[in-house]
Structure 1
Amino acid sequence: MRHIYCLILCFCPMLVGAQTWEDRSVFGASNPARTLRVLSSTDTSFFAPIIESFLQRQPGLAVEYFVIGTAQIDEIFRAEPSEYDVVISSAMDLQLKLVNDGYGLPIANLGVPDWAQWRDSLYAFTSEPATVVVNRSAFPNGDVPRSRQELIQALRARPELFDGRVGTYDVRLSGLGYLFATQDARASESFWRLMEVMGGLNAKLYCCSGEMIEDLETGKLLVAYNVLGSYVDARETVSDQLEVILPSDFPTTMMRTAFVHVGTTLRGDAEAFVRHLVNLQSALLSPETFPLPRLTSNTDASGQSAITLEPALMTYLDPLKRRTFIKEWSDAIIQ
């Protein structure tokens, strides 16, 4: 019988055992013949049913699933690439750079559209827009802002209410937050105006969507910017309390991507895992079996689509450009 058990980190003698993980779990048989090691930024609760469905056809295999932030994934993997077989992250730019640097193993014939793969090595398997999430108590008359400009106006109109109760990613620490911020800035100047307004309201900065949602639920936050809406949807207890808004002015839609480490010793199992992620897109599955948003091009009326996997995505990873962007962002939001 397959089951899940958590590892006791303090007794692991390996380097990875010293790492502080957000979560670390093993799926599969207690005494497996092989163990596939997956490094990911997606919460275990979302991936558990996906891994379980994969293991149904993989006797003798276990999956060790490590969860940590997007920026930390890049650092940890580059430091010890031999420790992991598959890398999954929503920070598309960092993933693209890893594959571009030669860490990805090409996998042929996956049937993924060109816009959702890079060099037959990096494959997208979900897409999801960044959203604004609000606590409805801040908008009792239902006048919830539907665009970035409306959000700016709402925050300016009632600074005494929103002071210290708005939040977003700390782009210095979050790879996904940095990706969203740079793409927002490329799309519209309203991003910088919004950052200045939030900075004037003593914005709180976060590593991840989950922590923002928790503070929205308790009322510590009333507005959170660039949150993954699926993390709100997964919490049925907050459905009446929080509202997820997809800004009407322009979408910023990321794709979760996966690649197989070129140095894996479990090539067949690792390739099969990535194929499983891709094949789930065409399967008729319930949200309980595949709880993540499906992969779509997300093209809006203006023709703007999801952030694409292309070399331009690495522009803001240039050290000078990154320092310049973070300085401008810090000047705007840390006042």
Structure 2
Amino acid sequence: MGKAVPLVEVWRGALLESAHSGHAVICDAKGQIVASWGDPQAVIYPRSSCKMIQALPLLTSGAADRYGLTTEQLALACASHNGAAIHTTRVTKWLDQLGLTEADLRCGPQDPADTEAHEGLILAHEKPCQIHNNCSGKHSGFLTLNQYMGGDPEYTEVDHPVQQAALAAFEEVTGEDSPGYGIDGCSAPNFATTLLGLGRAMAWFATAGQRSDQGSAAGARLVQAMMKHPELVAGEGRACTALMRAMPGRAAVKTGAEGVFTGILPELGLGVALKITDGTTRASECTMTALLIMLGLIEAENPVARSYCNVPIRSRRGLDAGVIRPVADFIRPL
């Protein structure tokens, strides 16, 4: 991985208390670099920022139409959700629709990030299950494709037809052969790519509606589903949901673990990918928001933008203590 550049600063009073470096790239419809920071050739795991790519075979295979999947289910297939009732009830219904149960999932149990759901489990003396896992929507998509293909139950194995279909889609839209994979938190393979490849893939999604081939039609449907149901892609209090709500119909954004964030910008025909090298979420959210501001998709003074970029730091008494902001020379005219 090449040299990262400073992207986000944390100031307390007159002192630069912390700093976060990383890489970022903006790509156009041809997959060319419009702007970049750091090393576009840095090889990364995209983590959950690429779930819309993993969902492509669900549509291109014909499985989504065979099972009559709704836009809500397509959004959940791309989601890293909070495990709130709006997520878990829909995943449960989806599994019922397939004639499957929670035991058929292979994502593992996870304590829900949603406070009400978390407290509800405690009060009921119950443990979280796999449906609470933030990736249960993606895995429901995998199960749908697997049932359509007639595959064996271990759909997360890298040589399983479901994952091989995901790899083929991944390499097609990134325009690169993946150099390898790691096991994601949900136990599915996560294929590596360069940051440029990930940005190129997001630009492919951003311009999918301008093309008529089967793969592009599938990509456009997934983007529209994400933008139509931002609350299902993440949830209350989450940057993905809040930013998409603040830019209705203008962008689909998706976070990933370890400081990865992607943006699909149909209005501009651009794709964005970034990676914070220390894996810090506050820095990836700040950087993505700064890029959206720079591209004119959200105003800097929008309350949602201020939640993630140029964020005031307050003491517990509410005193002004500092700010989390992009580095001074980061935002620039393109």
- After TM superposition, the score normalised by the length of structure 2 is 0.27
- After TM superposition, the score normalised by the length of structure 1 is 0.26
